[in-house]
Amino acid sequence: MTRYLWLMIGLTAGVALLFVASLLVGPAKISPLVSLSALIWGDSGPLTLVMREIRLPRALLGIMVGASLGLCGAAMQGYLRNPLAEPGLIGVSGSAALGAVIAIQTGLTAAFALALPLAALAGAAVSVVLLFALAGPRGGSLTLILAGIAISALAGAFTALVLSLSPNPFAATEIVFWMMGSLADRSFLHVTLALPFILLGLALLLPLARGLDTLTLGEDAAAALGTHLLRLRLTLISGVAVMVGTATAVAGAVGFVGLVVPHLLRSAVGARPGKLLAASALGGAAMVLAADIAVRLILPGRDLKLGVLTAIVGAPLFLHLVYRTRRDGG
């Protein structure tokens, strides 16, 4: 218990430090103290504007997106009892991306600022309805995974269709870059749009800790220990859909966070799936904040995409995980 407490304190401190660091990194070279005083006390000068309207929403979104992906990864792995599960498995991120792509292609994004995230959320919502229709509320985890794969494939195919039919090369480029995932140039509009959904997701997923713990013994034993499996499944999928849909809507596709973060933290929480939820939320926030700082430091002038970096770092970690799973005979 105390070890878990220390871990949570350490992760919280890490997130806080990275949050401040994220506020201090940017193309405008300003000393940290000046930046922070401009943020906190403020004036009508350009520095306060940069801090409050550009860097603060970016750092806040980093926390929200990272926490969503980490938490959802831990929830999916705990539910499916498989360390290779990831939040995109149920097809929500692909469908959210399709929604966004349609918004860009049709020019809706030019019409009003929030068209893209709203269209992405609509895409996510459609995919969840489709998922429940395909897998059924009582469907086993295998039907759920297969339905998710089918929905992802379908969303991917439609995305490719929209891209290939695009008469406008600028829209096509915008789509490709958006899909790589980024937190650059987001505003407080994005924060206020995402926050209620992220909070709803937290409220749905965090209380599932005990049920996920009992699932360690298998579905039958978990049910006999008083876990309501049907309710657990519905709550979990709704929570993951809300959070991943929102994260994709505001940041595009940021891969590997939900896969790698629970894996890195598992042994630190004694492999308990319930304790892994909150720890992975903090760990995910730290990872996305760190990656978003890194993209600004590695290639300052070049707009390195966040999702590209997380994949470059995450894929080798994933290979290591596959290798270790094979070695353990899993």
Q: How far is the CB of 272 from another protein (least distance, A)?
A: 6
* Among candidate residues 46, 47, 42, 17, the one with its CA nearest the CA of residue 31: 47
- What is the gyration radius of the CA atoms in the chain, in angstroms? 20
Q: How far is the CB of 142 from another protein (least distance, A)?
A: 15
**Dist CA 101 CA 156 (whole Å):** 11
**Dist CA 19 CA 292 (whole Å):** 10
Nearer residue to another protein within complex by CB, 27 or 226: 226
Nearer residue to another protein within complex by CB, 177 or 323: 323
Query: Residues with Cβ < 8 Å from 291, sequence gap 6 or more?
Result: 306, 309, 310, 313
Q: How far is the CB of 215 from another protein (least distance, A)?
A: 7
**Dist CA 88 CA 81 (whole Å):** 16
Nearer residue to another protein within complex by CB, 209 or 253: 209
Q: How far is the CB of 20 from another protein (least distance, A)?
A: 33
CA distances from 229 to 71, 73, 136, 312, 317 (A): 19, 19, 14, 37, 32
Nearer residue to another protein within complex by CB, 228 or 320: 228
* Residues within the interface to another protein (CB under 8 A): 1, 81, 209-210, 213-218, 220-221, 223-228, 266-267, 270-274
The DSSP annotation for 107-131 comes to: THHHH-TTHHHHHHHHHHHHHHHHH
> Nearest 5°: phi and psi at 299?
-125, 80
Name the token pair of 66.
């990272």
Q: How far is the CB of 82 from another protein (least distance, A)?
A: 8
Nearer residue to another protein within complex by CB, 83 or 255: 83
Q: How far is the CB of 314 from another protein (least distance, A)?
A: 22
Q: How far is the CB of 218 from another protein (least distance, A)?
A: 4
Q: How far is the CB of 75 from another protein (least distance, A)?
A: 14
Spatial contact of 57 and 191, defined as CB atoms under 8 Å apart: yes
Nearer residue to another protein within complex by CB, 21 or 229: 229
- What residue ranges in the chain does DSSP mark as E strands? none
**Dist CA 69 CA 75 (whole Å):** 10
Sign, Cα dihedral of 235, 240, 241, 242? positive
In the three-class reduction of DSSP (H, G, I as helix; E, B as strand; rest coil), residue 88 is classed as helix
Nearer residue to another protein within complex by CB, 61 or 278: 278
Spatial contact of 68 and 248, defined as CB atoms under 8 Å apart: no
Cα-based angle 55, 191, 163 (whole degrees, multiple of 5): 95
Spatial contact of 310 and 257, defined as CB atoms under 8 Å apart: yes
Nearer residue to another protein within complex by CB, 18 or 215: 215
Q: How far is the CB of 24 from another protein (least distance, A)?
A: 39
Nearer residue to another protein within complex by CB, 79 or 197: 79
